[in-house]
Structure 1
Amino acid sequence: MSKKEVKLPKNYRPSEKEEYMNPKQLEYFRRKLLNWRQDLIEESQETINNLRGEVRDVGDEAERASRETENSLELRTRDRYRKLLGKIDQALGRVEDGSYGYCEETGEEIGLARLQARPIATLCLDAQERWELKQKQMKDSR
């Protein structure tokens, strides 16, 4: 970390009793995001290795079609991971600039429970619900 090193107790979990987004909480979420990022990178690398390691001329047409479907699913998963990695990197940037944990729309606290469930969240629950309703209305008006 570029700032003062923050030590976390072994089984530290952010608590509502603490000041919101204090240095320990920020470090906790920074580590959580970095670990998630590393897991996604490792899984993506496994996917690449699996696709490279396959023998292309295996079996009959049905088996080949099945393999192509599996490959397509793996590539879609990899694309989803790529997008997630971008969101994780953005969240890490917010940890560094001190805006992590606050709603991009309202400036209100996103909340520890929501961040535990979705560490890349950028909106508080109310703002997220408004956004989803707006998306639904746009979809329905088509």
Structure 2
Amino acid sequence: MSEAQLASFRQRLLAEESALRSAANATTQHLQETEAAPDPTDRASAEEEHTLELRVRDRERRLLKKIAQALHRIEDRSYGWCEESGEPIGIARLLARPTASLCLEAQERHEAKKRQYG
């Protein structure tokens, strides 16, 4: 992978990381500002909304970890290479999923095993 491509992916990952951190801060602030509603129905709706927000943030927290790992792979020059097979991941896959650490074939094998064995 060329230096320009690595720099492009690095910038893309950093931008996504920044956006996720901003969203997490906004959620934290929103959760702290929310007042308890006296009506049980309103309170239940607010709790459901908070639960949904926290699930989204948990997903984003895992994505932040993957972004950090991808940035580390860029630094050590292993970005773009499958961690399992050593084959190139492919620019198209990285454009679709910049945090990918496995080539498509290896990812499909992992997903098949997961479906088979749970």
The alignment status of 1:46 with 2:26, answered yes or no, reads yes
The alignment status of 1:64 with 2:43, answered yes or no, reads yes
Aligned partner of 1:106 among 85, 93, 114: 85
**1:45-78 residue CA offsets vs partner (Å, 9 max, x unmatched):** 110111011112x241111101000001111111
In the alignment, the residues of structure 1 paired with residue 114 and residue 61 of structure 2 have an alpha-carbon distance, to the nearest angstrom, of: 23
Aligned partner of 2:62 among 83, 86, 89: 83
Identity percentage of aligned residues: 52
Matching residue of 2:3: 23
Aligned partner of 2:16 among 36, 39, 43: 36
Report runs of 4+ in structure 1 exceeding 6 Å deviation.
none
> How far apart are residue 115 of structure 1 and its match?
0.4
Specify the structure having the higher radius of gyration (Cα): 1
In the alignment, the residues of structure 1 paired with residue 49 and residue 87 of structure 2 have an alpha-carbon distance, to the nearest angstrom, of: 43
> How far apart are residue 25 of structure 1 and its match?
0.5
Matching residue of 2:108: 129
Give the letter for the 1:75 counterpart: L
Tell me the matched-pair count.
Answer: 118
Give the letter for the 2:64 counterpart: L
Matching residue of 1:3: none
Unaligned runs of 5+ in 2: none
Give the match's secondary structure for 1:106: coil
> How far apart are residue 127 of structure 1 and its match?
0.4
Give the letter for the 1:22 counterpart: S
Give the match's secondary structure for 1:103: coil
More helix by share: 2
In the alignment, the residues of structure 1 paired with residue 79 and residue 99 of structure 2 have an alpha-carbon distance, to the nearest angstrom, of: 9
Give the letter for the 2:92 counterpart: A
Unaligned runs of 5+ in 1: 1-20
TM-score in terms of structure 1 length = 0.81
Give the match's secondary structure for 1:35: helix
